[in-house]
Structure 1
Amino acid sequence: MSLLFETTPDGAGRYIDWILNGLVWTLSLAFGAWAIALVVGTLVGVARTLRGGIWPRLGRIYVETFRNIPLLVQMFFWYFALPEILPQRIGLAIKQIDPPWGSFVPALICLGLFTAARIAEQVRAGVQALPAGQSAAASALGFGRAGLYRVILLPQAFRIILPTLTNEFMTIFKNTSVALTIGLVELTATAREINENTFRTFEAYGVVTLVYLVIALLAWSLMYWIERAMQLPSLVSGSARK
Structure 2
Amino acid sequence: MSKRPPRKSPWSWRSRAFRGLVYQLVAVLLLGVAAWFLWSNTLTNMRVRGIQSGFDFLAQPAGFSIGESLYAFDSAESYLRAFGVGLTNTLRVAIAGVVLATMLGTLVGIGRFSRNGLVRGLCSAYVELFRNVPVLLQLLVWYLVLTEVLPPIHEAWKVGAFFLSKGGLNFPKPVWGAGEAWLGAGLLAGIAAAWFWRRRARRHFEVTGRARRMFWVPLVLVLALAFIGWLAGGAETVLDYPEKGEFSVENGGALTPEFLALLLGLTMYTAGFIAEVVRSGIASVPAGQAEAAAALGLDRPMEIRLILLPQALRVIIPPLTNQYLNLTKNSSLAVAIGYPDIVSIANTAMNQTGRAVECIAILMSVYLTLSLLTSAAMNWYNARVAIKER
Q: Which stretches in structure 1 are left out of the alignment for 5+ residues?
A: 238-242
Q: Flag the 1:143–1:188 CA change in 2: closer, same or farther, 3 A.
A: same
- Residues 278 and 316, structure 2, Cα contact 8 Å, conserved in 1: yes
Q: Which stretches in structure 2 are left out of the alignment for 5+ residues?
A: 1-54, 65-74, 158-162, 170-253
Q: Distance in 2 between matches of 1:58 and 1:90?
A: 31
How far 1:43 moved relative to its partner?
Answer: 0.7
**What corresponds to 1:15 in structure 2?**
79
TM-superposition CA deviations, 1:23-75 (whole Å, max 9, x none): 10111111101111111101110111234521111111000000111101100
**What corresponds to 2:355 in structure 1?**
200
1:96 to 140, 158, 167: 167
- Residues 8 and 14, structure 1, Cα contact 8 Å, conserved in 2: yes
Give, as a single letter, the amino acid of the residue that structure 2 aligns with 1:34: V
SS at structure 2 position matched to 1:184:
coil
How far 1:90 moved relative to its partner?
Answer: 5.8
Q: Flag the 1:100–1:54 CA change in 2: closer, same or farther, 3 A.
A: closer
- Residues 83 and 90, structure 1, Cα contact 8 Å, conserved in 2: no
Alignment pair present for 1:139 and 2:294: yes
Q: Distance in 1 between matches of 2:311 and 2:366?
A: 34
**What corresponds to 1:209 in structure 2?**
364
* Aligned pairs (5 A) from 1:1-80: 1-9=55-63, 12-51=76-115, 53-80=117-144
- Residues 110 and 279, structure 2, Cα contact 8 Å, conserved in 1: yes
- Residues 3 and 203, structure 1, Cα contact 8 Å, conserved in 2: no
**What corresponds to 1:128 in structure 2?**
283
TM normalised by structure 1 equals 0.89
Q: Distance in 2 between matches of 1:54 and 1:100?
A: 34
Q: Which has the larger radius of gyration?
A: 2
**What corresponds to 2:15 in structure 1?**
none
How far 1:116 moved relative to its partner?
Answer: 0.3
SS at structure 2 position matched to 1:79:
helix
How far 1:155 moved relative to its partner?
Answer: 2.4
How far 1:81 moved relative to its partner?
Answer: 2.9
How far 1:105 moved relative to its partner?
Answer: 1.4
Q: Distance in 2 between matches of 1:166 and 1:4?
A: 33
TM normalised by structure 2 equals 0.57
How far 1:223 moved relative to its partner?
Answer: 1.4
Q: Distance in 2 between matches of 1:141 and 1:56?
A: 26
1:159 to 302, 309, 314: 314
- Residues 270 and 323, structure 2, Cα contact 8 Å, conserved in 1: yes
- Of 139-148 and 155-164, more deviation after overlay is shown by 155-164
Q: Aligned pair count?
A: 235
Q: Distance in 1 between matches of 2:374 and 2:301?
A: 32
- Residues 90 and 341, structure 2, Cα contact 8 Å, conserved in 1: yes
How well do the aligned residues superpose, as a CA RMSD in angstroms?
2.1
Alignment pair present for 1:111 and 2:165: no
Give, as a single letter, the amino acid of the residue that structure 1 aligns with 2:61: T
TM-superposition CA deviations, 1:84-119 (whole Å, max 9, x none): 446785689431228872211121111111100000
Q: Distance in 1 between matches of 2:256 and 2:146?
A: 16
- Residues 150 and 166, structure 2, Cα contact 8 Å, conserved in 1: no
How far 1:82 moved relative to its partner?
Answer: 4.9
- Residues 94 and 328, structure 2, Cα contact 8 Å, conserved in 1: yes
- Residues 313 and 385, structure 2, Cα contact 8 Å, conserved in 1: no
Give, as a single letter, the amino acid of the residue that structure 1 aligns with 2:76: A
Higher helix share: 1
How far 1:227 moved relative to its partner?
Answer: 1.4
Higher normalized contact order (CA 8 Å, seq sep 6+, divided by chain length): 1
1:189 to 344, 360, 381: 344
- Of 83-92 and 26-35, more deviation after overlay is shown by 83-92
Q: Percent identity?
A: 36
How far 1:169 moved relative to its partner?
Answer: 0.8
